[in-house]
């Protein structure tokens, strides 16, 4: 299974489909084929592995796959049927497919007399596929909200200047996160104030191989010479302030990983709407004071309504701190904090 996980890493991190790996073993436990999914419209991992075997070679074999084999017709046929037709005797998988249309492969395999074992290294695969699995379960993209601020929570000086609060290492990490996203979302206020390109770039300023689609939310007009129009991908304009409508449209367009980068008004709207799955917070060792806070009104009127977070990691990038956090739905210290 760990080999299958390694194979899955070869697939694209963005797009509608999950990264899946598959290893096929013969009756003696020796590997006879490996495969992984290469993106929309290409063979799924199981079919990719089977394609490397001759007729009858998979009979009696064991297929080890990171995600429950699909059971539906999409761009390709159901992997469950491909495994049955190949004569595979046993299927071992890690995570259960949560898709409404694609799930059910394990049941179909059992129905055909194939031995099925699920849940092997499920925690590792759940962590690896966390963003895709969340999107599949919620029926909306996995949403990361990012901001960079001073230690006192300011995103800019009082005159509006903000270039640069954080250092080069932190800014490069942001570009890597952009590259791993399907879409990067900002408000019209950010476009008008900062004229960002919204591209993912390397250390030397070169464009990285994968670029997120730029999305601009709001009602104000954007100048025709704005940098966003020079992005490699066509910009999407969401002429609304309703973030629920924005999220629904992005999901319909096939985006599964969305990176919300600015500014404070838009970030606060996503937080208040309960649409944040992960926070990417960059803190610089500086103090700015003033009114330009990184986050504004998020619907917290009293301490009992606070938005508790679970910190997943803290990393030092140059002089800055990068904090990965997620909403804590049932924080063990919540009752104690509310009572203090």
Rounded Cα–Cα distance for residues 86 and 58 (Å): 6
338 pLDDT above the threshold of 60? no
Averaged pLDDT, 12-28: 93
Give the list of residues 6+ apart from residue 255 with CB closer than 8 angstroms, or none.
141, 182, 183, 213
Ranges assigned E (strand) in 130-172: 142-150
Best CATH choice for the domain 2-135 from the list 3.90.1170.40, 3.40.430.10, 3.40.50.300, 3.40.140.10: 3.40.140.10
41 pLDDT above the threshold of 80? yes
Rounded Cα–Cα distance for residues 109 and 65 (Å): 14
DSSP assignment letter at 178:
H
pLDDT in tens, 131-158: 999 999 999 999 999 999 999 999 999 8
pLDDT in tens, 283-333: 999 999 999 999 999 999 999 999 999 999 999 999 999 999 999 864 333
Q: Return the pLDDT at 330.
A: 41
Averaged pLDDT, 90-113: 90
Rounded Cα–Cα distance for residues 63 and 7 (Å): 14
- The CATH architecture annotation of domain 141-339 reads 3-Layer(aba) Sandwich (3.40)
Half-sphere exposure of 97 (CA within 13 A, CB side): 25
Domain ranges (residues) in the chain: 2-135, 141-339
Q: pTM score, two decimals?
A: 0.86
Percentage of the chain exceeding pLDDT 70: 95
Going by C-alpha positions, the residue among 283, 262, 259, 265 that lies closest to residue 165 is: 283
Q: Which residue in 46, 179, 238, 261 is the catalytic one? A: 46
Percentage of the chain exceeding pLDDT 90: 86
Average pLDDT, the chain: 92
Q: Is 85 a catalytic site residue? A: no
């Amino acid at each position: 299974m760990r080999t299958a996980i390694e194979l899955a890493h070869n697939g694209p991190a963005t797009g509608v489909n999950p990264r899946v790996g598959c290893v096929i073993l013969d009756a003696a436990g020796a590997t006879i084929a490996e495969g992984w999914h290469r993106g929309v419209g290409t063979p799924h991992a199981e079919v990719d592995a089977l394609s490397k075997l001759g007729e009858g070679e998979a009979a009696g074999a064991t297929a080890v796959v990171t995600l429950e084999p699909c059971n539906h017709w999409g761009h390709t046929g159901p992997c469950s049927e491909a495994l049955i037709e190949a004569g595979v005797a046993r299927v071992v998988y890690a995570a259960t497919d949560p898709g409404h249309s694609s799930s059910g492969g394990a049941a179909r395999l059992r129905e055909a007399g194939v031995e099925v074992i699920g849940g092997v290294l499920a925690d590792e695969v759940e962590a690896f596929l966390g963003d895709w699995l969340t999107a599949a379960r919620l029926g909306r993209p996995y949403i990361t909200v990012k901001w960079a601020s001073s230690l006192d929570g300011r995103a800019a000086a009082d005159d509006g200047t903000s270039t640069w609060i954080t250092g080069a290492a932190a800014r490069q990490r942001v570009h890597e996160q952009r590259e791993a996203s399907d879409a990067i979302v900002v408000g019209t206020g950010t476009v008008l104030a900062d004229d960002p390109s919204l591209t993912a770039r390397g250390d030397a300023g070169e464009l990285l191989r994968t670029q997120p689609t730029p999305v601009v939310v709001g009602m104000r007009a954007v100048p025709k010479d704005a940098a966003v129009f020079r992005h490699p991908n066509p910009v999407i304009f969401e002429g609304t302030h309703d973030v629920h409508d924005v999220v629904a449209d992005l999901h319909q367009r096939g985006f599964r990983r969305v990176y919300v980068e600015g500014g404070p008004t838009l970030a606060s709207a996503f937080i208040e709407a309960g649409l944040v799955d992960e926070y990417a917070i960059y803190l610089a060792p500086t103090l700015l004071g003033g009114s330009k806070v990184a986050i504004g009104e998020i619907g917290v009127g009293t301490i009992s309504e606070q938005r508790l977070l679970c910190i997943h990691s803290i990393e030092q990038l140059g002089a800055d701190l990068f904090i990965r956090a997620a909403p804590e739905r049932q924080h063990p210290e919540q009752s104690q904090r509310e009572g203090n």
